[in-house]
Structure 1
Protein backbone atom coordinates (compact mmCIF):
# COMPACT_ATOMS: atom_id res chain seq x y z
CA UNK A 1 0.00 0.00 0.00
CA UNK A 2 1.39 3.38 -1.00
CA UNK A 3 1.16 6.11 1.58
CA UNK A 4 -0.04 9.42 0.27
CA UNK A 5 1.15 12.60 1.86
CA UNK A 6 -1.67 14.71 3.37
CA UNK A 7 -2.66 17.79 1.41
CA UNK A 8 -3.50 20.97 3.30
CA UNK A 9 -6.67 22.43 1.78
CA UNK A 10 -7.22 25.19 4.37
CA UNK A 11 -6.99 28.05 1.85
CA UNK A 12 -9.17 26.31 -0.73
CA UNK A 13 -11.72 25.35 1.89
CA UNK A 14 -11.86 28.93 3.18
CA UNK A 15 -12.57 30.20 -0.36
CA UNK A 16 -15.33 27.62 -0.81
CA UNK A 17 -16.90 28.40 2.56
CA UNK A 18 -16.80 32.15 1.92
CA UNK A 19 -18.60 31.52 -1.39
CA UNK A 20 -21.17 29.48 0.54
CA UNK A 21 -21.66 32.36 3.01
CA UNK A 22 -21.99 34.80 0.10
CA UNK A 23 -24.82 32.82 -1.49
CA UNK A 24 -26.50 32.16 1.84
CA UNK A 25 -26.47 35.91 2.48
CA UNK A 26 -27.99 36.57 -0.94
CA UNK A 27 -30.71 33.98 -0.35
CA UNK A 28 -31.57 35.52 3.03
CA UNK A 29 -31.62 39.02 1.54
CA UNK A 30 -33.93 37.91 -1.27
CA UNK A 31 -36.24 36.28 1.27
CA UNK A 32 -36.27 39.45 3.40
CA UNK A 33 -37.07 41.54 0.32
CA UNK A 34 -39.73 39.13 -0.94
CA UNK A 35 -37.95 38.82 -4.29
CA UNK A 36 -39.01 35.41 -5.59
CA UNK A 37 -36.96 35.51 -8.82
CA UNK A 38 -33.72 36.53 -7.09
CA UNK A 39 -34.36 33.96 -4.33
CA UNK A 40 -34.77 31.22 -6.93
CA UNK A 41 -31.62 32.24 -8.77
CA UNK A 42 -29.46 32.50 -5.65
CA UNK A 43 -30.81 29.25 -4.18
CA UNK A 44 -29.32 27.54 -7.22
CA UNK A 45 -26.02 29.30 -6.55
CA UNK A 46 -26.17 28.23 -2.89
CA UNK A 47 -26.63 24.60 -3.92
CA UNK A 48 -23.64 24.91 -6.26
CA UNK A 49 -21.50 26.44 -3.51
CA UNK A 50 -22.44 23.64 -1.10
CA UNK A 51 -21.63 21.10 -3.81
CA UNK A 52 -18.20 22.71 -4.28
CA UNK A 53 -17.40 22.19 -0.57
CA UNK A 54 -18.55 18.56 -0.85
CA UNK A 55 -16.44 18.00 -3.97
CA UNK A 56 -13.39 19.52 -2.27
CA UNK A 57 -13.65 16.97 0.53
CA UNK A 58 -14.47 13.94 -1.64
CA UNK A 59 -12.40 11.52 -3.68
CA UNK A 60 -12.48 11.67 -7.46
CA UNK A 61 -14.05 8.23 -7.59
CA UNK A 62 -17.69 8.46 -8.57
CA UNK A 63 -20.17 6.03 -7.02
CA UNK A 64 -22.03 3.48 -9.14
CA UNK A 65 -25.37 5.15 -8.48
CA UNK A 66 -25.90 8.93 -8.62
CA UNK A 67 -27.79 8.87 -5.29
CA UNK A 68 -24.83 7.31 -3.47
CA UNK A 69 -22.35 9.45 -1.58
CA UNK A 70 -18.75 9.85 -2.68
CA UNK A 71 -16.05 8.77 -0.29
CA UNK A 72 -14.22 11.24 1.93
CA UNK A 73 -10.72 11.98 0.67
CA UNK A 74 -8.79 11.30 3.84
CA UNK A 75 -5.59 12.71 2.37
CA UNK A 76 -7.14 16.19 2.65
CA UNK A 77 -6.42 18.06 5.87
CA UNK A 78 -7.09 21.56 7.12
CA UNK A 79 -6.04 23.67 10.05
CA UNK A 80 -9.24 24.67 11.93
CA UNK A 81 -7.62 27.65 13.68
CA UNK A 82 -6.24 29.07 10.42
CA UNK A 83 -9.54 28.32 8.69
CA UNK A 84 -11.48 30.28 11.33
CA UNK A 85 -9.02 33.17 11.02
CA UNK A 86 -9.43 33.26 7.24
CA UNK A 87 -13.21 33.07 7.54
CA UNK A 88 -13.36 35.81 10.16
CA UNK A 89 -11.33 38.05 7.86
CA UNK A 90 -13.01 37.23 4.54
CA UNK A 91 -16.59 36.57 5.66
CA UNK A 92 -17.14 40.03 7.15
CA UNK A 93 -18.35 41.24 3.75
CA UNK A 94 -21.40 38.95 3.88
CA UNK A 95 -24.43 38.99 6.15
CA UNK A 96 -24.17 35.31 7.06
CA UNK A 97 -20.41 35.68 7.53
CA UNK A 98 -20.80 38.55 9.98
CA UNK A 99 -23.36 36.55 11.94
CA UNK A 100 -21.25 33.40 12.14
CA UNK A 101 -17.80 35.01 12.34
CA UNK A 102 -18.23 38.41 14.00
CA UNK A 103 -15.23 40.66 14.44
CA UNK A 104 -14.01 40.12 17.97
CA UNK A 105 -16.12 36.97 18.25
CA UNK A 106 -19.12 38.72 19.84
CA UNK A 107 -22.31 37.51 18.16
CA UNK A 108 -24.55 39.90 20.14
CA UNK A 109 -22.53 42.93 19.00
CA UNK A 110 -22.59 41.68 15.42
CA UNK A 111 -26.37 41.24 15.65
CA UNK A 112 -26.82 44.76 17.00
CA UNK A 113 -24.58 46.19 14.27
CA UNK A 114 -26.54 44.35 11.59
CA UNK A 115 -29.84 45.61 13.04
CA UNK A 116 -28.64 49.21 12.91
CA UNK A 117 -27.31 48.82 9.37
CA UNK A 118 -30.59 47.26 8.28
CA UNK A 119 -32.63 49.99 9.99
CA UNK A 120 -30.67 52.64 8.07
CA UNK A 121 -31.32 50.84 4.78
CA UNK A 122 -35.00 50.32 5.59
CA UNK A 123 -35.36 53.99 6.46
CA UNK A 124 -33.68 55.13 3.23
CA UNK A 125 -35.29 52.66 0.86
CA UNK A 126 -38.41 51.62 2.75
CA UNK A 127 -41.65 53.54 2.82
CA UNK A 128 -41.80 56.44 0.34
CA UNK A 129 -42.71 58.98 3.04
CA UNK A 130 -40.18 57.54 5.56
CA UNK A 131 -42.53 58.07 8.51
CA UNK A 132 -43.17 61.71 7.64
CA UNK A 133 -39.52 62.78 7.53
CA UNK A 134 -38.04 65.02 4.88
CA UNK A 135 -35.31 63.53 2.65
CA UNK A 136 -32.66 65.50 4.57
CA UNK A 137 -33.97 64.16 7.87
CA UNK A 138 -34.03 60.60 6.52
CA UNK A 139 -30.42 60.96 5.42
CA UNK A 140 -29.39 62.40 8.80
CA UNK A 141 -31.09 59.64 10.81
CA UNK A 142 -29.72 56.89 8.54
CA UNK A 143 -26.24 58.39 8.81
CA UNK A 144 -26.54 58.50 12.60
CA UNK A 145 -27.63 54.83 12.66
CA UNK A 146 -24.62 53.88 10.53
CA UNK A 147 -22.30 55.77 12.88
CA UNK A 148 -23.72 53.83 15.84
CA UNK A 149 -23.22 50.45 14.19
CA UNK A 150 -19.41 50.26 14.61
CA UNK A 151 -19.77 51.33 18.24
CA UNK A 152 -22.13 48.42 18.83
CA UNK A 153 -19.65 46.02 17.23
CA UNK A 154 -16.96 47.15 19.70
CA UNK A 155 -19.11 46.72 22.83
Structure 2
Protein backbone atom coordinates (compact mmCIF):
# COMPACT_ATOMS: atom_id res chain seq x y z
CA UNK A 1 0.00 0.00 0.00
CA UNK A 2 0.99 3.60 -0.44
CA UNK A 3 -0.02 6.66 1.53
CA UNK A 4 -2.12 9.59 0.31
CA UNK A 5 -2.53 13.11 1.62
CA UNK A 6 -5.17 15.57 0.48
CA UNK A 7 -4.92 19.15 1.71
CA UNK A 8 -7.87 21.42 1.01
CA UNK A 9 -7.64 25.18 1.44
CA UNK A 10 -8.81 28.21 -0.49
CA UNK A 11 -5.82 27.85 -2.85
CA UNK A 12 -6.34 25.99 -6.11
CA UNK A 13 -5.52 22.28 -6.15
CA UNK A 14 -2.87 22.84 -8.83
CA UNK A 15 -0.98 25.19 -6.53
CA UNK A 16 -1.00 22.52 -3.81
CA UNK A 17 0.57 19.78 -5.87
CA UNK A 18 3.38 19.21 -3.36
CA UNK A 19 1.91 20.35 -0.03
CA UNK A 20 2.48 17.61 2.53
CA UNK A 21 5.15 15.86 0.46
CA UNK A 22 8.51 14.84 1.86
CA UNK A 23 10.55 17.86 0.84
CA UNK A 24 14.30 17.92 0.22
CA UNK A 25 16.31 21.15 0.54
CA UNK A 26 19.78 22.50 1.21
CA UNK A 27 19.95 24.43 4.51
CA UNK A 28 23.25 25.76 5.86
CA UNK A 29 25.12 23.58 3.35
CA UNK A 30 23.34 20.43 4.58
CA UNK A 31 20.79 18.25 2.82
CA UNK A 32 17.63 18.25 4.96
CA UNK A 33 14.18 16.74 4.73
CA UNK A 34 10.90 18.10 6.00
CA UNK A 35 7.34 18.76 4.95
CA UNK A 36 6.42 20.95 1.96
CA UNK A 37 4.36 24.00 2.95
CA UNK A 38 2.90 26.80 0.80
CA UNK A 39 1.49 29.16 3.45
CA UNK A 40 4.08 31.79 2.43
CA UNK A 41 2.77 31.81 -1.14
CA UNK A 42 5.48 29.54 -2.52
CA UNK A 43 6.42 25.95 -1.81
CA UNK A 44 9.13 25.66 0.86
CA UNK A 45 10.55 22.75 2.82
CA UNK A 46 9.98 23.09 6.57
CA UNK A 47 12.71 20.92 8.14
CA UNK A 48 12.10 18.50 10.98
CA UNK A 49 8.84 16.75 10.07
CA UNK A 50 9.03 12.99 10.48
CA UNK A 51 5.31 12.21 10.20
CA UNK A 52 3.33 12.77 7.02
CA UNK A 53 -0.46 12.57 6.93
CA UNK A 54 -2.14 10.27 4.48
CA UNK A 55 -5.36 8.64 3.43
CA UNK A 56 -5.57 5.26 1.78
CA UNK A 57 -8.27 3.92 -0.50
CA UNK A 58 -9.86 7.17 -1.68
CA UNK A 59 -9.99 6.02 -5.31
CA UNK A 60 -8.58 2.48 -5.26
CA UNK A 61 -8.83 0.18 -2.21
CA UNK A 62 -5.46 -0.15 -0.45
CA UNK A 63 -3.77 2.49 -2.60
CA UNK A 64 -2.69 6.10 -2.18
CA UNK A 65 -0.35 8.31 -4.19
CA UNK A 66 1.09 10.55 -1.47
CA UNK A 67 3.23 11.71 0.14
CA UNK A 68 5.64 12.16 -2.71
CA UNK A 69 9.24 13.36 -2.71
CA UNK A 70 9.75 16.97 -3.80
CA UNK A 71 12.61 19.41 -4.33
CA UNK A 72 12.90 22.52 -6.46
CA UNK A 73 15.03 22.76 -9.56
CA UNK A 74 18.69 23.30 -8.70
CA UNK A 75 18.59 21.78 -5.20
CA UNK A 76 20.88 19.00 -6.44
CA UNK A 77 22.85 18.84 -9.68
CA UNK A 78 21.27 17.07 -12.64
CA UNK A 79 22.46 13.45 -12.61
CA UNK A 80 22.84 13.32 -8.81
CA UNK A 81 21.31 10.43 -6.89
CA UNK A 82 18.79 10.91 -4.09
CA UNK A 83 17.92 7.82 -2.11
CA UNK A 84 16.07 6.75 1.00
CA UNK A 85 15.96 3.92 3.51
CA UNK A 86 13.18 2.89 5.89
CA UNK A 87 14.35 2.99 9.50
CA UNK A 88 11.27 1.69 11.36
CA UNK A 89 7.78 0.26 11.05
CA UNK A 90 4.97 2.47 9.77
CA UNK A 91 3.00 4.01 12.63
CA UNK A 92 -0.69 4.82 12.91
CA UNK A 93 -2.52 6.99 15.42
CA UNK A 94 -4.34 5.10 18.18
CA UNK A 95 -7.01 7.47 19.48
CA UNK A 96 -7.70 5.14 22.42
CA UNK A 97 -4.19 5.49 23.84
CA UNK A 98 -3.38 8.87 22.31
CA UNK A 99 -0.14 7.53 20.84
CA UNK A 100 1.31 6.26 17.59
CA UNK A 101 1.57 2.46 17.39
CA UNK A 102 3.16 0.17 14.82
CA UNK A 103 0.74 -0.66 12.01
CA UNK A 104 -0.25 -4.31 11.74
CA UNK A 105 0.37 -4.34 7.99
CA UNK A 106 3.23 -3.47 5.69
CA UNK A 107 3.11 -0.64 3.19
CA UNK A 108 4.62 -0.85 -0.29
CA UNK A 109 6.48 2.15 -1.65
CA UNK A 110 6.69 1.89 -5.41
CA UNK A 111 8.28 4.00 -8.11
CA UNK A 112 5.66 5.49 -10.43
CA UNK A 113 6.81 3.26 -13.30
CA UNK A 114 6.27 0.19 -11.09
CA UNK A 115 9.76 -1.22 -11.71
CA UNK A 116 11.12 -0.90 -8.16
CA UNK A 117 9.41 -1.26 -4.80
CA UNK A 118 10.16 -1.82 -1.13
CA UNK A 119 7.83 -3.01 1.63
CA UNK A 120 7.99 -1.37 5.04
CA UNK A 121 9.05 -3.62 7.93
CA UNK A 122 6.66 -4.68 10.69
CA UNK A 123 9.31 -3.91 13.32
CA UNK A 124 11.97 -1.23 13.78
CA UNK A 125 14.34 -2.82 11.29
CA UNK A 126 16.55 -1.05 8.73
CA UNK A 127 15.14 -1.69 5.25
CA UNK A 128 17.02 -0.52 2.15
CA UNK A 129 15.06 1.69 -0.22
CA UNK A 130 16.30 2.85 -3.61
CA UNK A 131 17.78 5.93 -5.29
CA UNK A 132 16.30 8.35 -7.82
CA UNK A 133 18.37 10.08 -10.50
CA UNK A 134 17.83 13.84 -10.38
CA UNK A 135 16.78 15.42 -13.67
CA UNK A 136 16.20 19.03 -14.72
CA UNK A 137 13.25 20.92 -13.24
CA UNK A 138 11.36 20.33 -10.01
CA UNK A 139 11.61 16.78 -8.67
CA UNK A 140 8.37 15.02 -7.77
TM-score category, normalised to shorter length? under 0.3
Higher share of residues assigned helix: 1
Question: TM-score of the superposition, structure 1-length normalised?
Answer: 0.23
**Rg comparison, structure with higher value:** 1
